[in-house]
């Protein structure tokens, strides 16, 4: 258990409906089709435990707010943590073009993070074959993480770690 710092707590308390305090990233990979997308998805799930334990233990922590907000919130390890909830896989809806990808990403970003779970999610998106300018068989990865969990610099370290 670790108490949030003042700035991180401000990110939690400053969140209001329709103005989430999380950041998102969209990354596109040439995975060579469904087999490559499956390998990417399985790699994310299987390597997560080591990544979290070694570099980012906060990714396994959920928020514990103090009653009546009389003090700053705490990070506590989520004893019911499930990577299956945080790392999902979907197919890009038809017509499978840039507009559909932007819409899906916008919906993903707009959805508030569940405060009863660790404050991050990854979505692997298949079916980018019809998007102009992207190689057939490519896969998108959407990452969403709350600013109270990581600042921009730490999020870049996480993304770099995912690519090692």
Q: Which residues are catalytic?
A: 147
Q: Which residue has the tokens 């990581």?
A: 150
User: How many other C-beta atoms lie within 10 A of the C-beta of residue 160?
Assistant: 9
| 3-state class (DSSP) for residue 124 | strand
Q: Which helix (H) or strand (E) holds 51?
A: helix 34-54
CA distance 149 to 128: 30
Please provide the DSSP assignment of 62-123 as one string.
Answer: EEEPPGGG-S--EEEE-TT--HHHHEEEEEPPTT-SHHHHHHHHHHHHHSPP-TTS-SEEEE
């Amino acid at each position: 258990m670790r108490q949030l710092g003042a700035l991180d707590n401000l990110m939690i308390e400053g969140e209001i409906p329709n103005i989430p305090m999380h950041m998102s990233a969209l990354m596109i990979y040439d995975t060579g089709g469904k087999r490559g997308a499956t390998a990417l998805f399985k790699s994310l799930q299987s390597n997560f435990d080591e990544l979290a334990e070694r570099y980012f233990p906060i990714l396994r922590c959920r928020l514990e707010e103090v009653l009546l907000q009389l003090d700053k919130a705490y990070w506590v390890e989520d004893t019911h943590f499930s990577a299956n909830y945080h790392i999902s896989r979907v197919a890009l809806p038809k017509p499978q073009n840039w507009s559909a990808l932007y819409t899906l990403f916008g919906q993903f970003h707009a959805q508030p993070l569940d405060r009863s779970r660790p404050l991050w999610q990854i979505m692997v998106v298949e079916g980018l074959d019809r998007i102009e300018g992207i190689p057939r068989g490519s896969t998108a990865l959407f990452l969403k993480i709350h600013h109270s969990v990581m600042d921009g610099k730490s999020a870049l370290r996480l993304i770099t770690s995912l690519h090692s």
